[in-house]
Chains A and B, each alone.
Chain A
């Protein structure tokens, strides 16, 4: 069973479109995250939710809107896609409290904006 699963794995779309990436975890964790990995492999946090509540919102354009319908799901909706949004987006989850065991990551969604 996949612990953290994201769909789709690949997404190719045109500039200006709106798209969503879905994430689900079956680990029973309270906290979920979105990370962005750029073309140089640099990873940066975008958002963190704890039990459906937004906890961390880094400096991300407001075209990006996370939504957590329940604590097992965290989706990422992106409006008016731009070329610079091309990246790999990773969902992750962790138990509540101190990050003693690290976070568990999904396989990533490679977004290509053309």
Chain B
């Protein structure tokens, strides 16, 4: 079945450090790919998305590129802030005609310190 693998956390960085959170997927076709962010005590918010190979999703300084050849969608940010502390989820989705569902990775907790 489809699955998403994320690097394990927690990841602790100093403010202004470079962030990479690895995400790879296993799927039998070409899914849409997403990064969601969950701040403490809140629901999930869509951070960015890519719907086909070589697409780059970007939002709030975060970027991820859909790499079909490596089945990856790594999340990057050049300079993190304390306010970026949250749990980040990589996810994929297929539309099969029978409906959509998001398949999530296990989440990676990011803590940014001053």
Q: Which residues of A contact B (CB under 8 A)?
A: 4, 31, 33, 35, 40-45, 48, 50, 55-56, 90, 92, 94, 97-108
B111 within 8 A of A: no
Contact A48 B36 (CB under 8 A): no
A112 to chain B, nearest CB (A): 15
Known: A42-B104, A105-B45. 17 other contacts (CB 8 A): A33-B101, A35-B102, A40-B106, A42-B107, A43-B107, A45-B103, A48-B99, A48-B101, A92-B102, A98-B100, A99-B32, A99-B100, A99-B102, A102-B91, A102-B93, A103-B46, A103-B102
Contact B45 A99 (CB under 8 A): no
Residue pairs across A and B with CB atoms within 8 Å: the count is 74
| Docked pose: A67 CA to B95 CA in angstroms | 23
B79 to chain A, nearest CB (A): 25
A98 and chain B: residue at smallest CB distance: B95
Dominant SS among interface residues on chain A: strand
Contact B32 A43 (CB under 8 A): no
| Docked pose: A106 CA to B99 CA in angstroms | 20
Partner of A48, one of B32, B43, B45, B100: B100
Partner of A100, one of B42, B51, B109: B51
Q: Which residues of B contact A (CB under 8 A)?
A: 32, 34, 36, 38, 42-46, 49, 51, 87, 89, 91, 93, 95, 98-104, 106-107, 109
Dominant SS among interface residues on chain B: strand
Sort A-B residue pairs by CB-CB distance and give the 8 closest, nearest first. Answer: A55-B99, A98-B95, A99-B93, A102-B46, A99-B100, A43-B104, A105-B44, A105-B43
Partner of A31, one of B32, B87, B100: B100
Partner of A107, one of B32, B43, B49, B103: B43
A94 to chain B, nearest CB (A): 6
* Chain A residues within an 8 Å CB radius of B42: 107-108
B6 to chain A, nearest CB (A): 11
* Chain B residues within an 8 Å CB radius of A101: 46, 49
